[in-house]
Amino acid sequence: MSGAVRKTAATFGIAVLSLFSLIPFYIMVIMGTYRNEDLFTRIVLVPGTYLLENLKTVAASRFDLLYLNSLIVSLASTALSVFVSACAGFAFAKHEFKYKNRIFAFVLLTMMIPGQLGIVAYVIEMRQLELTGTLLPLILPWVANAFGVYWMTQYIRSAVPTEVLESARIDGCSEAGLFFRMVFPFIYPAVTTLSLLVFLWSWNNYLLPLIIVNKPELYTIPLGITSLGNAYRTDLAAQVLGLTLGTLPVLILFAVGSKSFIRGLTAGSVKG
Partner 1 sequence: MNTASRKWVPYAFLSPYVLFYLAFGLFPIVFSFYVSLTSWDGIGGKTFVGLSNYKYLFDPDSHFFQSVGNTLLFVAVTLPVQMALGLIIATLLYSRWVQWKGFFQLINFLPYIVTPVAVGLMFNLLFDWQAGFVNKVLVELGLVDEGIYWLGEPLTARIVIVLMLIWKGFGYTMVFYLAGLANVPKDLHEAAQVDGASALRVFWSITLPLLKPVTAFIVITGIIGGFQLLEEPMLLLTGAGMGSSVAVIGGPDRCCLTTVWNMYDTAFGSTTRYGVGAAIAYGLCVIIAVFSFVGARIYKGDSE
Which CB sits closer to partner 1, 71 or 144?
144
Which CB sits closer to partner 1, 52 or 252?
252
Which CB sits closer to partner 1, 64 or 99?
99
In the complex, what is the shortest distance from the CB of residue 188 to partner 1, in angstroms, rounded to a whole number? 19
Burial (CB < 10 A; 0-12, 13-18, 19+), residue 78, is: buried
| Pairs from 29-35 (Cβ < 8 Å, separation ≥ 24) | 29/244, 29/248, 31/236, 31/237, 31/240, 31/241, 32/237, 32/240, 32/241, 32/243, 32/244, 34/237, 35/237
> What is the chain's length?
272
Alpha-carbon gap, residue 198 to 205, rounded angstroms:
11
Which CB sits closer to partner 1, 56 or 95?
95
Phi/psi of residue 255, nearest 5 degrees? -60, -40
Which CB sits closer to partner 1, 55 or 143?
143
In the complex, what is the shortest distance from the CB of residue 108 to partner 1, in angstroms, rounded to a whole number? 13
In the complex, what is the shortest distance from the CB of residue 222 to partner 1, in angstroms, rounded to a whole number? 4
**CA atoms lying within 13 Å on the CB side of residue 88:** 22
Alpha-carbon gap, residue 272 to 267, rounded angstroms:
10
In the complex, what is the shortest distance from the CB of residue 155 to partner 1, in angstroms, rounded to a whole number? 15
Distances in Å between the Cα of 169 and the Cα atoms of 75, 162, 166 are 33, 11, 5
Which CB sits closer to partner 1, 154 or 247?
247
Alpha-carbon gap, residue 106 to 111, rounded angstroms:
9
In the complex, what is the shortest distance from the CB of residue 56 to partner 1, in angstroms, rounded to a whole number? 19
